[in-house]
C-alpha cells in the first residue's frame, strides 16, 4: 500500500504587524508591496448584502436599465471605507496608520493623541504626506500640523509649510493660507519667494485678484523681491480680474527694482489697456517695446485685435491694424478673420469686404465662417445680389455652404420679393441633406402669405409634414411672428380663414394668438367670435383662452360673463393670467362688487409669483384702514404716486372696503375730500364713490347682523314671524 500523504502543517501563528507597506528594495531583496492594514483593517458589513447571483450573471446590453439603482451605483459608488482604503493604499505605512487613526476617531481627542504618541518620531516628509491626503477632516489635519511642530527635536521644513498652504487653499481657507508666511517667521524660518509664489498661483487660478495684490504687498514687507516671471504672474492676475490700475502700480515697482521687461510683460499690460480702451497708453507701450526689446509680432497684434473686438472697439481695432502695417508685420488668417467678422457684426461690411479681397490677393486660405459673416452682413444691408455672388465664390473655392448661410440668403431673397428663388434655395438644402428647420421655411411662408399665394402656402405645409416637421408647432410660431408685423393681424386672419378647410391645422394655441392680437387692436367682438367658433369645433379652451375672453368681456362691460369664464378656469384647476386678474378686479370695482374684487386680489397674490404691485398696495391700504386715520391712508396713496402707479378704481375700492370693515364713514369721506383737494378726484368721482361707500357700508352692516342672528339661532324665529328686513 502506498504510504499515506503527509499531513499539512498547521499555519504558523504570525505576529500581527502594524500594517503592510512598501519595503525599501536592496540588491538581495526585491520590492515588496503590502496590502491592507492588519491592526486597523475594517470589515465592510454591507459587502455580503449584495446578492452574488447578480454579479455572476453575464451582462446583457439589451436588458440593461440605466435608471436601475444597482447600475447607477456600481461600480463607481463606494462606501466610505472602500473609498478611504483605495486612497490610503498609496501612502507610506506610517502615514497610513495616522490617517486610519483619524478615520476611526473623527475628532482630536486624547485617545487619538495617545495613538499618535506611539510613533517613535515624526518627520517633515511624513507631515507633508498627511497634509496632501484628500480624505481627512481639515480640522484634524490642522491639529496634526501644530501637534507635530511641538514634538521634541522636530522642525517644519519648507515642504511642510508649502503642503500646509496647499491644504488650506484646498479646503477653501485661503485667507488662513495667506498667514503661512507669518507662521513661518514666528517659528524661525523666513519665507522665500517660493512660498509667496504658491499663494499667488493659488489666488490667480481662482481669479482672486485683490488677494494676489495682498500677497504681493506682504512680499514687500518681508523684503522679498519677485522675479520677472512672478511679476508677470501678478500683473496678469490683476488685469484678468479687472484691476488694471493696480497692475500698473505693480509695473512701476517692477521698473524701480531695475528688472528688464519681457515680451510677456508688455503684452499683459497692453491687453489690459486695450480692454479698458486706453489706446494712447497702448501705443506708448508699443513704442517702449520697440525701443527696449523688439517690435511686436503678428501674434501680439492678433491678441490685441481679439481683445478690442471682444470689447466692441472697432476704431481701436483699425488703429492697431494700421500700426501693424507700419511695422511691416503681415497679418495672419486669424487676425483677418477676427477683424472681418467683427466689422460684419457691427454693420461695416464694406470695410470687411476690402480685407476679404486683401486676403485673396495674399492667397490665404479663407475660412467658410468669413464667407458666412459677409453673406449675413450683405443680406442685413439689403444687398442680396452681393450675397449671392459670395455664395458662388464660396462654392467655386471648394466649400459646401452650411444651413445658416442658406437660411440667411432665403430670408434676404424673401425680403426682396424673390420668393421663387428662395424656394429653389430651400430645395437645394433638401438635396444637400442639410436638414432644414422652421427658420429655413418661415420667410417663404410669410412671403406666400403676403402675396396671398395660399395654394403654394398649403403645398409647402404638406411638404414640411412629409419631411418630418412638427407643422402644428411651426404654425404657432408662424402666427406669433406674423401678428407682430405691420398689418400682420389681418394677414394672419386671412391665412387662418384659408386653413379652416384643413381642420388638422386648427389648434387652441393658434386661436389664442389671434384672440390676443385682436384684443390688442381693440377688436374685442372679433376675438369673442373666434372664441365661440372654437367652442363650435369641439376644441377644449385652456387658461390662456379664458384669460383672453375675460379681458374681452371686461372691455365690453359684460362682467357677469367674465366671472363665468373665471369660474371655468378655477374648475379646471388652472390659474388665470395676471392681466385677466387685473382686468376683472378693475371691472368688479367699477360696478361696486367690492367684496368680490378684494377676494380676487388675494387670490391673485396667492397663486401668482409676481403679482401686480397695485394689488400689494391694495392690501397695505386695507391694513392701514385699521388705524381709522385718513392721513395714514393718504401717505400710502402718495407713495403709490411717487412710484408711478396708476390711481384707478381698484385703489378707491380698497379704501371703501377697508374703511367699511375697520373704520368709519366719516373718516372715509375725509380721505376722499383730501384726494379731491389734491386733484386726484373730480367732484363727480367723489359723489359716485360716496354713494358706493354708503351702499357697501349698508351691505357690510346687513351681513354682520345676519351673521349674528345665525350665530344665536334667531334667524328661523324672524322668518316665522314674516320679517322681511333680512335678505333671504
Q: Does residue 242 form part of some domain?
A: no
Task: Using pLDDT thresholds of 50, 70 and 90, give the confidence band for residue 38.
Answer: very low
Q: Sorting pLDDT into bands at 50, 70 and 90, what band is 663? A: confident
pLDDT of residue 292: 84
Residue 40 has a pLDDT of 43
Q: Please check whether residue 707 lies inside any domain of the structure.
A: yes
The whole-angstrom separation of Cα 721 and Cα 467 is: 80
Greater pLDDT, 79 or 157: 157
Tell me the pLDDT tens digit for each residue of 91-143. Answer: 788 888 888 888 888 889 999 999 888 888 889 999 998 888 887 888 888 89
Q: What are φ and ψ of residue 620, in 5° steps?
A: -65, -45
Q: How far apart are CA 38 and CA 523, in angstroms?
A: 87
For cell 515624526, name the residue.
122
Q: Would you give the DSSP letter of residue 625?
A: G
What is the mean predicted confidence (pLDDT) over 439-444?
94
DSSP string, 630-693: HHHHHHHHHHHHHTT----HHHHHHHHHHHHHHS-HHHHHHHHHHHHHTTSS-HHHHHHHHHHH
- Let me know if residue 676 belongs to a domain: yes
Query: Does 58 score more than 90 pLDDT?
Result: no
Residue 598 and residue 662 in contact, taking contact as beta carbons nearer than 8 Å = no
The pLDDT of residue 32: 46
Count Cβ atoms within 10 A of the Cβ of residue 55 and give its class: 0-12 exposed, 13-18 middle, 19 or more buried: exposed
Q: Is 541 left (phi over 0), alpha (psi -120 to 50) or beta?
A: beta
* C-alpha 638, offset from chain centre: 38
Chain center to CA of 613: 26
Could you report how far apart the first and last alpha carbons of the chain are, in Å? 120
Rounded mean pLDDT, 443-470: 92
Dump pLDDT digits (tens) for 211-254.
Answer: 999 999 999 999 999 999 999 999 999 999 999 999 999 999 99
Give mean pLDDT, residues 290-309: 89
pLDDT in tens, 562-601: 999 999 999 999 999 999 999 999 999 999 899 999 999 9
Nearest Cα to 214, choosing from 182, 190, 187? 182
Report how far residue 219's alpha carbon sits from residue 541's, in angstroms, rounded to the nearest whole number: 72
Rounded Cα–Cα distance for residues 211 and 12 (Å): 62
Distance CA 572, CA 552 (A): 20
- Work out the pLDDT band at 56, boundaries 50, 70, 90: low
pLDDT, position 679 = 84
pLDDT band, residue 517 (cuts 50/70/90): very high
pLDDT tier at 3, thresholds 50, 70, 90? low
From 407, 420, 410, 486, select the one nearest 451 (Cα to Cα).
Answer: 420
Residue 633 in domain: yes
Sole residue written with cell 396671398: 452
Under DSSP, is residue 203 helix (H, G, I), strand (E, B) or coil?
Answer: helix
Q: What average pLDDT does this structure show over 39-45?
A: 44
pLDDT exceeds 50 at position 44: no
Q: Which domain covers residue 668, as residue numbers? A: 587-720
- Residue 398: predicted pLDDT: 87
Q: What is the pLDDT of residue 130?
A: 87
Q: What is the number of alpha carbons within 13 Å of residue 150 lying toward its C-beta?
A: 8
Give me the torsion for CA of 394, 397, 402, 407, rounded to 10°: 10
* pLDDT exceeds 50 at position 726: no
Average pLDDT over residues 396-405: 90
Transcribe 551-571 into DSSP letters.
Answer: HHHHHHT-HHHHHHHHHHHHH
- H-helix or E-strand spanning residue 292: helix 279-292
Cα separation, 695 vs 687, whole angstroms: 13
∠ CA 482-487-492 to the nearest 5 degrees? Answer: 40
Q: Which residues pair with 19 in a beta bridge?
A: 37
- Distance CA(445)–CA(426), nearest Å, equals 12
| CB distance 583 to 550 below 8 Å | yes
Q: In the prediction, which pLDDT does 712 show?
A: 54
With DSSP H G I counted as helix, E B as strand and the rest as coil, what are the percentages for the chain, rounded to 5?
70, 0, 30
Q: Establish if 643 belongs to a structural domain.
A: yes
pLDDT on residue 537: 84
The reply to whether 520 falls in a domain is no
Q: Which of 69-78, 285-294, 510-519, 613-622 has the least mean pLDDT?
A: 69-78
> Using CA atoms, how far apart are residues 664 and 534, in angstroms rounded to an integer?
49
Q: Could you give the percent of the chain with pLDDT greater than 90?
A: 50
What is the total count of domains within the chain? 1
1-15, 364-378, 664-678, 681-695, range with the lowest pLDDT: 1-15
User: pLDDT band at residue 37, thresholds of 50, 70 and 90?
Assistant: very low
pLDDT for residue 65 is more than 90: no
What are the CA-CA distances from residue 548 to residues 494, 563, 614 (Å)? Answer: 21, 13, 21
Ramachandran region of residue 242, left (φ > 0), alpha (ψ -120 to 50) or beta? left
Tell me what the pLDDT averaged over the chain comes to: 84
Q: Residue 9 domain-assigned?
A: no
User: Is 298:335 a contact under the CB 8 Å cutoff?
Assistant: yes
Half-sphere exposure (CA, 13 Å, Cβ side) for 80?
Answer: 5
CB of 306 closer than 8 Å to CB of 318 = no
Q: What is the pTM of this model?
A: 0.71
**Per-residue pLDDT reduced to its tens digit, 249-288:** 999 999 998 899 899 999 999 999 999 889 999 999 999 9
Cα separation, 547 vs 576, whole angstroms: 6
Predicted local confidence at residue 488, as pLDDT: 86
Q: Is residue 417 part of a domain?
A: no
Computed from CA positions of residues 485, 487, 490, 494, in that sequence, does the dihedral angle turn out positive or negative? negative
Q: Could you count the other beta carbons within 10 Å of the beta carbon of residue 373?
A: 22
For residue 648, the model assigns a pLDDT of 81
Give 503's DSSP letter: G
Q: What pLDDT band is residue 710 in, cutting at 50, 70 and 90?
A: low
Burial grade of 544 (CB within 10 A; 0-12, 13-18, 19 or more):
buried
Locate all alpha helices (DSSP H) within 364-523, ordered by sequence. 368-380, 384-396, 403-415, 419-431, 438-450, 454-466, 471-482, 488-499, 508-520
pLDDT of 60: 59
Q: How far apart are CA 575 and CA 369, in angstroms?
A: 47
Residue 615 has pLDDT above 80, yes or no: yes
Q: Which residues contact 200 (CB under 8 A, 6 or more apart)?
A: 212, 215, 216, 230, 233, 234, 237
Q: How confident is the model at residue 202 (pLDDT cuts 50, 70, 90)?
A: very high
Tens of pLDDT, residue by residue over 141-194, are 889 999 999 888 889 999 999 999 999 988 889 899 999 999 999 988 899 999
Whether residue 503 is predicted with pLDDT greater than 70 in this model: the reply is no
Burial class from Cβ neighbours inside 10 Å (0-12, 13-18, 19+) for residue 342 reads buried
Average pLDDT (636-662) is: 87
Q: What pLDDT is stored for residue 160 in this prediction?
A: 92
| 424 DSSP 8-state letter | H
Give every CB contact of residue 32 below 8 A, 6+ residues apart in sequence: 22, 23
- Here the cell at position 217 is 504687498
Q: Choose from 4-18, 81-95, 344-358 the range with maximum mean pLDDT.
A: 344-358
Amino acid at each position: 500500500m502506498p504510504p499515506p500523504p503527509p499531513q499539512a502543517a498547521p499555519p504558523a501563528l504570525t505576529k500581527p504587524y502594524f500594517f503592510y507597506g512598501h519595503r525599501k528594495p536592496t540588491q538581495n531583496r526585491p520590492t515588496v508591496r503590502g496590502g491592507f492594514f492588519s491592526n486597523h483593517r475594517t470589515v465592510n458589513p454591507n459587502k455580503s448584502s449584495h446578492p452574488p447571483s447578480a454579479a455572476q450573471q453575464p451582462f446583457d446590453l439589451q436588458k440593461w436599465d440605466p435608471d436601475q439603482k444597482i447600475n447607477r451605483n456600481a461600480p463607481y459608488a463606494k462606501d466610505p471605507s472602500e473609498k478611504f482604503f483605495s486612497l490610503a493604499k498609496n501612502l507610506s505605512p506610517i502615514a497610513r496608520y495616522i490617517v486610519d487613526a483619524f478615520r476611526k476617531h473623527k475628532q482630536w481627542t486624547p485617545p487619538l493623541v495617545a495613538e499618535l504618541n506611539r510613533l517613535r518620531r515624526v518627520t517633515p516628509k511624513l507631515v507633508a504626506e498627511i497634509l496632501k491626503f484628500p480624505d481627512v477632516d481639515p480640522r484634524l489635519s490642522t491639529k496634526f500640523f501644530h501637534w507635530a511642530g511641538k514634538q521634541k527635536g522636530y522642525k517644519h521644513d519648507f515642504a511642510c509649510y508649502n503642503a500646509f498652504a496647499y491644504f488650506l487653499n484646498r479646503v477653501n481657507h485661503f485667507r488662513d493660507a495667506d498667514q503661512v508666511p507669518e507662521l513661518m517667521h514666528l517659528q524661525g524660518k523666513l519665507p522665500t519667494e517660493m512660498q509667496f509664489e504658491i499663494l499667488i498661483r493659488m489666488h490667480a487660478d481662482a481669479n482672486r485678484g485683490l488677494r494676489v495684490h495682498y500677497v504681493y504687498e506682504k512680499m514687500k514687507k518681508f523684503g522679498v523681491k519677485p522675479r520677472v516671471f512672478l511679476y508677470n504672474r501678478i500683473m496678469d492676475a490683476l488685469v484678468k480680474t479687472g484691476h488694471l490700475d493696480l497692475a500698473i502700480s505693480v509695473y512701476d515697482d517692477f521698473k524701480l527694482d531695475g528688472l528688464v521687461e519681457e515680451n510677456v510683460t508688455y503684452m499683459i499690460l497692453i491687453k489690459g489697456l486695450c480692454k479698458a480702451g486706453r489706446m494712447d497708453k497702448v501705443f506708448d507701450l508699443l513704442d517702449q517695446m520697440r525701443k527696449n526689446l523688439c517690435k511686436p509680432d503678428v501674434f501680439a497684434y492678433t491678441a490685441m485685435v481679439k481683445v478690442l473686438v471682444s470689447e466692441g472697439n472697432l476704431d481701436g481695432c483699425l488703429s492697431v491694424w494700421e500700426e501693424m502695417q507700419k511695422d511691416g508685420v503681415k497679418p495672419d488668417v486669424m487676425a483677418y478673420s477676427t477683424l472681418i467678422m467683427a466689422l460684419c457684426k457691427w454693420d461695416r461690411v464694406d470695410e470687411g469686404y476690402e480685407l476679404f479681397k486683401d486676403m485673396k490677393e495674399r492667397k490665404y486660405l479663407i475660412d467658410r465662417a468669413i464667407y458666412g459673416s459677409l453673406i449675413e452682413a450683405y443680406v442685413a444691408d439689403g444687398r442680396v445680389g452681393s450675397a449671392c455672388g459670395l455664395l458662388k465664390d464660396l462654392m467655386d473655392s471648394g466649400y459646401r455652404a452650411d444651413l445658416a448661410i442658406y437660411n440667411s440668403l432665403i430670408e434676404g431673397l424673401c425680403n426682396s420679393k424673390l420668393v421663387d428663388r428662395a424656394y429653389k434655395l430651400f430645395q437645394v438644402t433638401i438635396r444637400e441633406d442639410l436638414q432644414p428647420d422652421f427658420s429655413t421655411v418661415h420667410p417663404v411662408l410669410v412671403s406666400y402669405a403676403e402675396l396671398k399665394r395660399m395654394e403654394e402656402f398649403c403645398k409647402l405645409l404638406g411638404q414640411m409634414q412629409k419631411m418630418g416637421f412638427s407643422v402644428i408647432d411651426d404654425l404657432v410660431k408662424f402666427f406669433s411672428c406674423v401678428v407682430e408685423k405691420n398689418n400682420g393681424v389681418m394677414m394672419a386672419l386671412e391665412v387662418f380663414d384659408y386653413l379652416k378647410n384643413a381642420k388638422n391645422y386648427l389648434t387652441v394655441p393658434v386661436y389664442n394668438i389671434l384672440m390676443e392680437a385682436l384684443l390688442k387692436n381693440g377688436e374685442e367682438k372679433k376675438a369673442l367670435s373666434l372664441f365661440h367658433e372654437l367652442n363650435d369645433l369641439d376644441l377644449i379652451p385652456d387658461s390662456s383662452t379664458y384669460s383672453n375672453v375675460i379681458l374681452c368681456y371686461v372691455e365690453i362691460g359684460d362682467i357677469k360673463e367674465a366671472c363665468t369664464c373665471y369660474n371655468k378656469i378655477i374648475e379646471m384647476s388652472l390659474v388665470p393670467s395676471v392681466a385677466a386678474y387685473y382686468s376683472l378686479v378693475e371691472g368688479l370695482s367699477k360696478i361696486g362688487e367690492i367684496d368680490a374684487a378684494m377676494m380676487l386680489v388675494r387670490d391673485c397674490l396667492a397663486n401668482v409669483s409676481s403679482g401686480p404691485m397695485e394689488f400689494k398696495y391694495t392690501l397695505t391700504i386695507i391694513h392701514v384702514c385699521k388705524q381709522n386715520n385718513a392721513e395714514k391712508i393718504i401717505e400710502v396713496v402718495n407713495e403709490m404716486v411717487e412710484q408711478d402707479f396708476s390711481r384707478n378704481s381698484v385703489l378707491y375700492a380698497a379704501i371703501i372696503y377697508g374703511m367699511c370693515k375697520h373704520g368709519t364713514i366719516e373718516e372715509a369721506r375725509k380721505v376722499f375730500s383730501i384726494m379731491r383737494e389734491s386733484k386726484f378726484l373730480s367732484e363727480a368721482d367723489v359723489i359716485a364713490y360716496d354713494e358706493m361707500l354708503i351702499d357697501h357700508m349698508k351691505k357690510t352692516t346687513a351681513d354682520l347682523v345676519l351673521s349674528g342672528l345665525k350665530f344665536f339661532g334667531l334667524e328661523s324665529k324672524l322668518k316665522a314671524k314674516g320679517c322681511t328686513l333680512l335678505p333671504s
